Amino acid sequence: MRRLFLTYLRPFRLRIGLIVLLILGQAVGNLYLPTLNADIINYGVARGDTGYILRTGGIMLGVAFLVIIFTVIAAYNSARVAMGLGRDVRRDLYRKVQSLSTSEMGRWGTPSLITRNTNDVQQVQMVVAVGLSLMLFAPMMAIGGIIMALRQDRPLSISLAIIVPIMLVFLLLILRRAIPLFRTIQARLDRINQIMRENLGGVRVIRAFARTLYERKRFAAANQELTDTTYRVFRLFAVLFPVLFTIVNLSTVGIMWFGGMRVDSGAMPIGNLFAFIAYVMQILFSVLMTTMVAAMIPRAAASAGRIQEVLSVEPAIRDPVKPVVLPVRTTGRRGLVEFEDVEFRSQTLIERAPNDSMRSKSPSPSTSPAGATTVPAASCSSSPTNEALATSSIA
């Protein structure tokens, strides 16, 4: 996954740098707002200073407006980078498949290659689009939130050392079980794609031999396997988010309880308590955002590995760097196929065909090759007016 991203994100370095700066400005603005709110409570509301409230409120509106602008521009550029990466990966994957031989393509099969060039690329695109925004924004908010919370009240900040590790441990336990399931989902999609291709390509044969009911059962079994695996993943995340939100709510209650006691004792201004709660919420929701992206990463990692598996294959058949240019014969005829001093032999034949023979076929609308190249004998047939040319396959 890392190799794929480093390769295909390199052309978008400038956009990514702009996104980082915009998200940094967005994080700074979000972290500054609770401090302004605390100042309004401590110096405006507590003292009855309406002018201070209006001035600070105006600053808050300006900061919020800048945050909105930064967010929109960052989201636009994140989408451009993600779509550009998907375009480049699909292009290179298609070109790589075109350069592979039949035996090399058979290593994965056509259905799997189609899934890799469609669904797998979409998974990578999605995690890039979300990751460039949330994965950059969440750590900035978490680190900045911890620093700002320590500035508001250090004794109360000890609660963060208990809350955040509990959330992270629970998150890691869920992801540890989810990662293998995401790989299984992609394999199940390959199976669905394979059965669909076989049914669409061989629909006449299936109907001719009355195999419709059998094919329906085969597709239903593959579909049920995909559904069951997806249900297992959804059950994990159905447990994850309620537990995380419960931790957040219990943390808020505990902070309000102990913070209220510190406010009553005069050790902490009430505005600082509200700011501290806001920073704790920012920290915890940063963990939740990281959870959302982390839920996408296992499936994207599995997809990226499947894509890289194809891109890293070296074709067994390569065009020569300096191909030999054959001389052009000036026969005045186009489309002439001629065999001159060519020996024909098959593994099933003992005697060779004469090697001093010469056969030629003139252009004819009824001339066509008969038989596949993989059978032990191949022939060329033409209309009765032309000389028949029948030979064994080339040894």
Give me the amino acid identity at 368: S
pLDDT digits (tens, 9 = 90+) for 173-199: 887 888 788 778 878 888 888 888 888
pLDDT at 393: 35
pLDDT at 304: 86
Q: What is the CA radius of gyration of the chain?
A: 34
* Most distant CA pair in the chain, distance: 113
In a domain, 211, yes or no: yes
pLDDT digits (tens, 9 = 90+) for 203-260: 888 888 888 899 999 999 999 999 999 898 888 888 887 888 888 888 888 888 888 8
pLDDT tier at 78, thresholds 50, 70, 90: very high
pLDDT at 373: 43
Other C-beta atoms closer than 10 Å to the C-beta of 395 total: 10
In a domain, 251, yes or no: yes
Give the residue carrying structure tokens 């690329």. Answer: 121
pLDDT at 378: 38
Residue 276 clears pLDDT 60, i.e. is over it: yes
pLDDT at 49: 82
pLDDT at 338: 72
Structure tokens at 356: 């001093």
Residue 64 clears pLDDT 90, i.e. is over it: yes
In sequence order, what DSSP letters do the residues of 40-102 get, joined into one string?
IIIIIITTT-HHHHHHHHHHHHHHHHHHHHHHHHHHHHHHHHHHHHHHHHHHHHHHHHHHS-H
pLDDT at 28: 93
pLDDT tier at 364, thresholds 50, 70, 90: low
In a domain, 378, yes or no: no
Mean pLDDT within 367-371: 48
Residue 315 clears pLDDT 90, i.e. is over it: no
pLDDT digits (tens, 9 = 90+) for 127-144: 898 888 888 888 888 889
Give the integer Cα–Cα distance in Å for 269 and 278. 15
- CB 138 within 8 Å of CB 290: yes
Give the integer Cα–Cα distance in Å for 34 and 38. 6
Give the residue carrying structure tokens 């999609």. Answer: 189
Residue 360 clears pLDDT 70, i.e. is over it: no
Please report, for the domain that includes residue 136, its CATH number.
1.20.1560.10
pLDDT digits (tens, 9 = 90+) for 141-184: 888 988 888 888 888 888 888 888 888 888 888 878 887 887 78
Range of the structural domain that residue 299 is part of: 7-311
C-alpha distances (whole Å) from 183 to each of 1, 77, 130, 180, 186 are 13, 29, 20, 5, 5
Other C-beta atoms closer than 10 Å to the C-beta of 290 total: 21
In a domain, 226, yes or no: yes
In a domain, 357, yes or no: no
Q: How many domains does the chain have?
A: 1
Higher pLDDT, 371 or 56: 56
In a domain, 367, yes or no: no
pLDDT at 326: 65
Give the integer Cα–Cα distance in Å for 268 and 276. 11
In a domain, 160, yes or no: yes
Q: What is the mean pLDDT of the chain?
A: 80
pLDDT digits (tens, 9 = 90+) for 330-341: 655 566 667 677
pLDDT digits (tens, 9 = 90+) for 86-96: 999 999 999 88
Residue 346 is classified by DSSP as -
Mean pLDDT within 32-38: 91
Give the residue carrying structure tokens 């059962």. Answer: 217
pLDDT at 67: 93
In a domain, 177, yes or no: yes
